[in-house]
Amino acid sequence: MFRITLLTVAAVAGVPSAPGAAPNVLIILADDMGYGDLQCMGSRHLRTPHLDELAQSGVLCTQAYVASSVCSPSRAGLLTGRDPRRFGYEGNLNQSAANYATRPEFLGLPPGEHTLGDHLRSDGYATGLIGKWHLGTEAGFHPNDRGFDYFCGMLVGSHGYFPQPDNNKLERNGKPLREFSSPYLTDFFTDEALNWIQQQQSHPDRKPWFLFLSYNAPHGPM
């Protein structure tokens, strides 16, 4: 069984929005991380001091449950705010387009469902998604088509942690990636997130921003 744990939904410390303005929003997602894998939740095997510090300085929800026990529908529930079973999204995306020739809505998050990116962008936010998408790869299902101005990461559900320039499934707004700020994928996604936030903060036409930092760690391959 898989679990996805939502770690943080918060205005980012150190880069607040202007007084009276809409807050900046950052969602950090850990992929397939069990609730008991944090020290603050009782783990005796793993050390998680930074995450524990976030929990101590913020709000720790001990009875907040994911919408599904597998990756893709759980993400669909998080990004839409709806139970994925209400729109027929009950399993991971494991089939090709040929298998859904008469039901293209099964190729990803149904087009009729609106994401947090859709809602916040329509309210004047700059929107970004960095990391794992896993909600469709065909036309119309790309993050840039689902409310996110900026996307850097992989469309698929799993990826190795040490991508090579000529062997990876990573992209930035539809263009394949060949260079990385770090050889380790988790650090690369962190660098991308920090750079994107800094760009939003220094933009001459600064808007409030929403970033979904969607790590694939600690999902396999281990």
* 152 labelled catalytic: no
* 71 labelled catalytic: yes
159 close to 180: Cβ distance less than 8 angstroms: no
| Terminal C-alpha separation, the chain | 16
201 close to 194: Cβ distance less than 8 angstroms: no
Give the closest residue to 121 by CA, choosing from 44, 188, 207, 23. Answer: 207
Which of 134, 142, 159, 219 is catalytic? The answer is: 134
In angstroms, the Cα distances linking 209 to 53, 139, 161, 185 are 24, 26, 28, 24
- Cα angle value 177/195/15 (rounded, 5°): 155
Which of 40, 61, 71, 219 is catalytic? The answer is: 71
Q: Residue 196 is which amino acid?
A: W
> Annotated catalytic sites, by residue?
71, 134
